[in-house]
Amino acid sequence: MRRSIRYIVAGLALGVPALTAGCAQATPSASAQPISRPAATASTAQDATSEPIGGPRMAETGLVLDLPTGVPAPPAFPASCYLVADLDSGAVILAKCPHAKGLPASTIKALTALALVDELPPATVITATEEDANQEGSRVGIRAGSSYTVEQLFQGMLLTSGNDAAWALARHRGLPETIAAMNAKAAQLGARDTAARNPSGLDATDQVSSAYDMALIGRAVLRNERLAGYVKTERTTFPSARVPGGGTRGSLEITNHNRLLTRYSGTIGVKNGYTLAARRTYIGAARRGASGYLLTYLKNPSSDWRLTTALFDWAFAYGGQVRPVGQLVEPAPGDPGAHSAAQGGSGQAALEALSAEGALHPAGAGVGAPQLDGLGWFGAHPEALLFTAGSMTVIAAGVSITRRTRQPQ
């Protein structure tokens, strides 16, 4: 079976069920491997009896909102989970199921970027391998044997959501070290719902995040001058394949998959994502004058970008009047890289451990971490398995499966 078809099958196993009411999560499977995390610091620790990160209302399901008299309600939004926060103060003004965990898709590349930006100087040259070039899903088009600067690969990863570029960067740093650094960075930011298992966002066992965590990650990206420059870039050039004999290489134009950069005034980033199981995911930010807002979502069934801009419009019009319902926490002090040993260390042993836990490969039969929709749903609805099998037959028989993943925003 071709790998692209295997990913469709895995995605159906993860995400065929219709969107559930509220933000109920599937029960973790008994065989799930534990997610390796750094020890929590005092500013990010959260146990079963503590207040949810961001405030008590961040634990609520349904719409979380506190409207003063005379302020209109926000427009309806179809995502299962979403959050709107003031970009400067961190005040959360609107949320729905902010801490519910779901598949992040390519928004995880924002965390990959945060984990690698201080480790890889932009002028460093990386020679691509066959494994890099043959990554499934969305690709910028790197070629094995051709060399690229780190800056070019960051642009390929963050603008066109290149899984090939993300893999090349992570491989150069070391795959287990990169995954460790991603999880350590998430912990430092206070993103306790997030577990990274690969650098690209392809669906993987236990790879999850939340709308709240994605806001923390997006804010951190925008606070990094180098990354903020990448994610607001509308278009740039990317080198073509190496010319045999040392001739001059050509270039091609790549454009940012974030549609709002060209369709909504003031947009400054950050990252969109899509897989069959995750549906559409997004970390967005816009600034107009002295005001700026972050908007994140998971499990959005709609590709209509105007629904997102309507929510931004509401925030810019009324965000200053709405009473906050939560707060984006500030990062813990210290170097997240210091936690790398707790995240799996380095070398072949760590690589084998990550591979055994499903960190480096797309998901197979099940999902170990809580999901918005997962195999727990199948346990309650066994009849859906028949539908899934039929759907896979139809897809295999009648749909042309391509290697490039659709991008929603």
Residue 185: closest CA among 228, 229, 221: 221
Are β-strands 326-327 and 91-96 bridged in parallel, bridged antiparallel, or unpaired?
antiparallel
Residues with Cβ within 8 Å of residue 217, at least 6 apart in sequence: 107, 110, 111, 114, 186, 189, 191, 194, 209, 283
**Could you tell me which residue, 282 or 349, shows the higher pLDDT?**
282
Output helix, strand, coil percentages for the chain, rounded to the nearest 5.
35, 15, 50
The catalytic residue positions are 106, 109, 161
pLDDT of residue 366: 29
The pLDDT confidence band at residue 400, using thresholds 50, 70 and 90, is: very low
- Is 140 in contact with 238 (CB distance < 8 Å)? yes
Asked if 403 and 139 count as a contact pair (C-beta separation under 8 A), the reply is yes
Q: Is the pLDDT of residue 369 over 90?
A: no
Top mean-pLDDT range of 23-32, 292-301, 353-362: 292-301
- 341: tokens are 């040993």
Does the pLDDT at position 28 exceed 80? no
- Angle made by CA atoms 353, 360, 374, in degrees to the nearest 5: 100
Task: Give the pLDDT score at 240.
Answer: 86
Instruction: Identify which has the larger pLDDT, 278 or 46.
Output: 278
Q: pLDDT: is 245 or 167 the higher one? A: 167
User: What pLDDT does 389 receive?
Assistant: 38
Q: Please tell me which of 10-14, 225-229, 373-377 the model is most confident about, judged by mean pLDDT.
A: 225-229
Residue with tokens 């994610």: 231
User: Is the model more confident about 39 or about 170?
Assistant: 170
Written as one string, the DSSP assignment of 240-299 is -PPPTTSPPP-EEEEE-S-THHHHSTTEEEEEEEEETTTEEEEEEEEEETTEEEEEEEEE
Proportion of the chain above pLDDT 70, given as a percent: 68
Q: At residue 181, does pLDDT exceed 50?
A: yes
Tokens of 393: 């037959």
For residues 136 and 161, is the Cβ–Cβ distance under 8 A? Answer: no
Mean pLDDT of the chain: 79
DSSP helix/strand/coil, 8: helix
Element of type H or E holding 132: helix 130-133
Q: What is the pTM of this model?
A: 0.76
What are the tens digits of pLDDT across the range 46-96? 444 478 999 999 999 899 999 999 999 999 999 999 999 999 999 999 999
| Residues 256-274, mean pLDDT to the nearest whole number | 97
On the question of pLDDT at 133 being above 50, the answer is yes
| Contact assessment for residue 392 and residue 384, using Cβ atoms and an 8 Å cutoff | no
| pLDDT of amino acid 241 | 76
Q: What number is the average pLDDT over the span 189-209?
A: 97
pLDDT confidence bin for 276, thresholds 50/70/90: very high
Task: Check: CB of residue 267 under 8 Å from CB of residue 252.
Answer: no
pLDDT, residue 50, reads 76
The letter for the amino acid at 235 is R
* Domains along the chain with CATH numbers: 3-16+61-398 (3.40.710.10)
Q: Kindly report, residue by residue over 201-251, the tens digit of the pLDDT.
A: 999 989 999 999 999 999 999 999 999 999 999 999 999 877 676 666 789
348 — phi, psi (to 5°)?
A: -65, -35
51-60, 179-188, 378-387: the lowest-pLDDT one: 378-387
Q: What pLDDT does residue 22 have? A: 55
